[in-house]
Structure 1
């Protein structure tokens, strides 16, 4: 029956496009590890630059 084939085609079409759009949204809104480390490294304060040789 061609109607059943078309129904499954429509269902799969929307499932695939929903998955693609969801993946793109997650990738665009995801913060990279590099951005997180650069903001953390800016808060480091050094009191001295002398090496302590043992």
Structure 2
């Protein structure tokens, strides 16, 4: 039955992406809270994230 195969693929796809986004947000929050030398995190958060992309 192709409908069952498509539904199973969609379920696995959604579970995988939600797990990836949850892990990404958890690691991002951990890196933001542990990166304490920059004190302007509330005013300019993008400057604090610049070390991740370099």
Q: TM-score range by the shorter chain?
A: 0.5 to 0.7
Report the TM-score, using the length of structure 1 for normalisation.
0.58
What is the root-mean-square deviation in Å for CA atoms of aligned residues?
1.7
CA distance in 2: counterparts of 1:6 and 1:37, whole angstroms: 47
Report the TM-score, using the length of structure 2 for normalisation.
0.58
Structure-2 change in CA distance of 1:9 and 1:37 (3 Å): closer
| Unpaired stretches in structure 2, ≥5 consecutive residues | 40-54
Greater helix fraction, Structure 1 or Structure 2: 2
Structure 1 equivalent of residue 17 of structure 2: 16
State the structure with more CA Rg: 1
